[in-house]
Amino acid sequence: MKTFYSKSTGGFYPEDLQDAYEAAGTWPGDLVEVAPEEYAALMAGQSAGKVIDANASGHPVAIDRPGPSDADIAANARASRDALLAATDWTQLPDVPAATKAKFAAYRQALRDVPEQPGFPRAIAWPSAPS
């Protein structure tokens, strides 16, 4: 049995299911044949943590899993920062002593300034919470 790979869908298609895929209108037009030993190597690579992608000719290759993007890291950093801010919201309530408010106001401002640090989001110097 032959196995095919589609770059457009990122999936494998066994030849013996071609009729069913065609009947459903889902048999891709960009299929390339994958030899059984190559398919086994791709599956082994995937089991080892690699991802399957297509090269320029549309043939499947196992590659290292890409790391998170700067946008993903920045979103996570901002979520962490927002959680730290939320955890100290109580420090700015009207009935909190002025000394406590002042200590935490500086810390909270430092948290808000985290995205402005050089190297953000990959290098962050998190401010220390007052004690």
Across the range 94-103, mean pLDDT stands at: 96
> What pLDDT score does 6 carry?
98
Q: Count the helices and strands in the chain (H runs, E runs).
A: 4, 5
Strand partners of residue 51: 63
What are the pLDDT digits (tens) for 61-80? 999 999 999 999 999 999 99
CA–CA separation, 76 vs 74, rounded Å? 5
CA–CA separation, 56 vs 62, rounded Å? 13
Across the range 104-123, mean pLDDT stands at: 97
Going by pLDDT thresholds of 50, 70 and 90, the confidence category of residue 111 is very high
